Structure 1
Amino acid sequence: MSQTLEVRPVQQTVELSGPPEAVYTALMDAQQHAAFTGLDAEIDAREGGAFATCGGRNSGYTLVLVPGRRIVQAWRHRDWPEHHYSVATFDLAPMGRGTRLIFTQMGVPADGYAWLDEDWRTMYWGPLARYLAMRRRG
């Protein structure tokens, strides 16, 4: 008999100083992704395309792409149980001259929730905000 994995969702809203198209591109372009995280990224930016980010720590497949508006991915961390994927959704909406990013990640193993919730804030949203602000200043 297999044991059921306890999961919980990560839900975060972030306000970024760049248009939705710039946020979308930074998340889906391997070079820009590596530039803002400081870690290697390989991203096939097509529906069904594979990705590996943060030096291979995170990997998965892109399920839905709506340029400038939405990214949905089957996403996993290398330390999770084998074959366990979450579903990560990045919804982008214009907000003045910036973007409101609503992030939801369903199916996160409960024992990894705390560090993952914090890592999205410190490894992604903070560096992404700085990256976008730097690009705007040119």
Structure 2
Amino acid sequence: MSHVIHQEIVVTASPQRVYSALTDSKQFSAFSGAPAEISPEAGGVFSCFGGMIVGRNLELMANERIVQAWRVANWEAGVYSVVRFALKAQGADTLIVFDHTGFPEGTREHLDSGWHAKYWEPLNKYLG
């Protein structure tokens, strides 16, 4: 089983608005409906969905790219995956090229559907 999730999603908002929603605690909480604490700096930590998702920002390029060491709180201690959000303007919209790698065996299907249900659908609704 592959340990890679690749998704391409179009969001009806500019890269700036998408980047802000994914990196600002208040906006993330607003679109996700759950508490979030997100450091706006590379190297800073984040906690989303009331602490169910935690990690560290590895790279932040404003309005272009977010790379995070990302984990579900109930994974085995010390196990992190890597998520990459590349934001590309498409007219007034944004194409998110998303890759998630290095997650534990047996979690792919749950994670794959979770990105749509917990990130892309509420984000599009919030920004649209």
Q: Bigger radius of gyration, 1 or 2? A: 1
Match of 1:10 among 5, 8, 12: 5
User: Is 2:37 aligned against 1:60?
Assistant: no
Number of corresponding residues:
128
User: Is 2:34 aligned against 1:39?
Assistant: yes
The answer as to whether partners of 1:14 and 1:102 remain within 8 angstroms in 2 is yes
1:82 corresponds to: 77
Q: Cα distance, 1:7 vs. partner?
A: 6.5
Match of 2:66 among 66, 71, 89: 71
1:99 corresponds to: 94
Unaligned 5+ segments in structure 2 are none
2:109 corresponds to: 114
Q: Cα distance, 1:56 vs. partner?
A: 0.4
User: Is 2:126 aligned against 1:131?
Assistant: yes
| Aligned counterparts of 1:11 and 1:40: Cα–Cα separation in 2 | 26
| Aligned counterparts of 1:53 and 1:11: Cα–Cα separation in 2 | 21
| Aligned counterparts of 2:32 and 2:94: Cα–Cα separation in 1 | 19
User: Cα RMSD between the aligned structures?
Assistant: 1.1
| Runs of 4+ with >6 A deviation | none
Identical amino acids, percent of aligned pairs: 38
